[in-house]
A and B are shown apart, each in its own frame.
Chain A
Amino acid sequence: MLAKRIIPCLDVKNGRVVKGVNFVNLIDAGDPVEVAKAYNKAGADELVFLDITATHEARGTVIEMAKRVAETVFIPFTVGGGIKSVDDFRELLLQGADKISINSSAIRNPELISDAAEKFGSQCVVVAIDAKRNIKNPPCKEQSQQASESGSNNNSSWNVYINGGRIDTGLDAIAWAKHAEALGAGEILLTSMDCDGTKAGYDIELTRAIAESVSIPVIASGGAGTPEHFRDALTYGKADAALAASLFHFREIEICDLKNYLDSEGVPVRRS
């Protein structure tokens, strides 16, 4: 049975992991390779590296990072952040990245999705969507779970934001997800801006609305705080994978314990 995936996300700047990672026995907690090895050992199914390097000159660092990760960690990994062209895709894929995530650049230039899918295959084109609710109602777990049980709340809608959440594109998140799929995206990395950082749970209603609108895998992101939140995203939310960052970095939840819990709740997970 296909396993639901658990994915730690690492922010990388100038080739270094930023926001601390609190692993024991790490020689260098800022080294993406060391962190990747530790997460591989801990049972992560995949890794996402988000490059937040500001300057174009420092782009070489993320390519070097992808190369070093591919030399030492033999699970799939995605690189995102600052990818603007098919050449950017090529460079990172040749170094061993499995998937490339694009966000603002896909909005500005939707052809990048189709060009990359045509050249390298849909399986490596991840479209990241930062979505925010238009009508302000409590987005996170309790409300959403109710919504999923009583049928979706038809009043809910979400807009797509870019530039790290600073610009409202005016695009409807569901429509954009469908369009991205039609252009050749192979996966949606869906972040709820309302829930991100709250630890109050994923936006289940959003996740489910997107997952039911497309037939490509959806990764839920933003808001995880407890094992139950993962279960809800992967069951009620119909997500194929769930992503978290600081929750794993600070070992508030161990991936191994999380997977044991999910298994006990009947969610198929890979355990080694």
Chain B
Amino acid sequence: MIAIIDYGAGNLRSVEKAFEYLGFEAKISSDPNEIMSCDKIILPGVGAFGVCMNSIRKVGLDNCILEAVDKGKPFLGICLGLQLLFDESEESPGAKGLSLFSGGNKRIAQSPGLKIPHMGWNSITYDKNCPIFSGIGDEPYVYFVHSYHIAPKDESIVSAHTTYGTEIPVAVHRKNVFATQFHPEKSGETGLAVLKNFGNL
């Protein structure tokens, strides 16, 4: 069973439906005990960094996430669910993230003609050894909607990049922890392949 963590933000249905479509069992939950009883965990996210972290802390989901990761459960963060794994974000100065990785989140650098949010299909280059990216071809297009991007201290955790004005890191991988800035549940066949790879871990 795959747990999709619900902390009251945005639409989780698409993620759930994508796993069901692929034949995996998934459930949306905000109960730490129920989440811990699942064998894989998804942290989705739409919204602002600070607001979401507050909601996560209020129901004690921060400890639950860190404990699950510690126990080696495969974990996938999506969009804001990637950004929350870092220490902080320019989006919400003063708000503390989960600090699973060191570094912060920066606003996408302005440049003439560049629209923010970065919204739409963009191609990625990725680490071919990252198991969730198995079989997705060269430089596949995936769907992004974001205004901030991760700025990890340790570059070695970055598993994918895209180019938007400048090259930006858009996925991380360390042991059982995976996270993507793009939305695999909205990235067509490529995205479904990523979710299937994760489901099969």
CA distance A1 to B168 in the complex (A): 12
Q: Mark contacts of B172-201 with chain A using CB atoms, 8 A cut-off: 1 yes-contact digit, 0 otherwise.
A: 000000000000011111111000000000
- Which chain B positions have C-beta within 8 A of A198? none
Q: Are A74 and B191 in contact (CB under 8 A)?
A: yes
- Which chain B positions have C-beta within 8 A of A45? 120-121
Given A74-B187, A76-B186, A121-B46: A270 and B14 interface contact (C-beta under 8 Å): no
Q: Are A3 and B122 in contact (CB under 8 A)?
A: yes
CA distance A5 to B17 in the complex (A): 24
Q: Mark contacts of B139-173 with chain A using CB atoms, 8 A cut-off: 1 yes-contact digit, 0 otherwise.
A: 00101010000000000000000011000000000
B8 within 8 A of A: no
**What is the minimal beta-carbon distance from B15 to any residue of chain A, in angstroms?**
10
Q: Are B115 and A217 in contact (CB under 8 A)?
A: yes
Q: Are A96 and B17 in contact (CB under 8 A)?
A: yes
A264 within 8 A of B: no
CA distance A122 to B116 in the complex (A): 10
- Which chain A positions have C-beta within 8 A of B191? 74
CA distance A262 to B117 in the complex (A): 24
CA distance A122 to B146 in the complex (A): 11
- Which chain A positions have C-beta within 8 A of B10? 93, 120
Tell me the nearest residue of chain B to A2, going by C-beta: B122
B109 within 8 A of A: no
CA distance A186 to B13 in the complex (A): 22
- Which chain B positions have C-beta within 8 A of A5? 120-121
In the complex, chain B residues 102-146 whose Cβ is within 8 Å of any chain A Cβ? 115-123, 141, 143, 145
Q: Are A94 and B13 in contact (CB under 8 A)?
A: yes
A240 within 8 A of B: yes
CA distance A98 to B187 in the complex (A): 12
Q: Are A1 and B120 in contact (CB under 8 A)?
A: no
Q: Are A270 and B186 in contact (CB under 8 A)?
A: no
CA distance A95 to B189 in the complex (A): 21
Residue tally, chain B, CB below 8 Å to A: 32
A14 within 8 A of B: no
A272 within 8 A of B: yes
- Which chain B positions have C-beta within 8 A of A121? 46-47
Q: Are B11 and A2 in contact (CB under 8 A)?
A: no
A2 contact from B121, B186, B187, B189, Cβ within 8 A: B121
Q: Are A2 and B164 in contact (CB under 8 A)?
A: yes
- Which chain B positions have C-beta within 8 A of A241? 120
Given A3-B120, A215-B115: A76 and B143 interface contact (C-beta under 8 Å): yes
Tell me the nearest residue of chain B to A75, going by C-beta: B188
Q: Are A71 and B17 in contact (CB under 8 A)?
A: yes
**What is the minimal beta-carbon distance from A37 to any residue of chain B, in angstroms?**
11
A1 contact from B18, B163, B187, B188, Cβ within 8 A: B163
Q: Are A94 and B46 in contact (CB under 8 A)?
A: no
CA distance A72 to B17 in the complex (A): 8
> Which residue numbers of A lie inside 8 Å of B, CB to CB?
1-3, 5, 40, 45, 70-72, 74-76, 93-96, 98, 120-123, 186-187, 215-217, 240-241, 270, 272
By Cβ-Cβ distance, the 5 closest A-B pairs, closest first, are A270-B141, A3-B121, A270-B121, A123-B145, A71-B17
* A-B contact sample (18 more), CB < 8 A, given A74-B191, A241-B120: A1-B122, A2-B164, A3-B121, A3-B123, A74-B14, A74-B185, A74-B187, A76-B186, A94-B13, A96-B13, A96-B17, A98-B186, A123-B117, A215-B115, A215-B116, A270-B141, A272-B141, A272-B188
Could you pull out 21 A-B pairs where Cβ atoms are within 8 angstroms? A1-B122, A1-B163, A2-B121, A2-B122, A3-B120, A70-B13, A74-B185, A74-B186, A75-B188, A76-B186, A93-B10, A96-B11, A96-B13, A96-B14, A98-B186, A186-B117, A187-B119, A216-B115, A217-B120, A240-B115, A270-B123
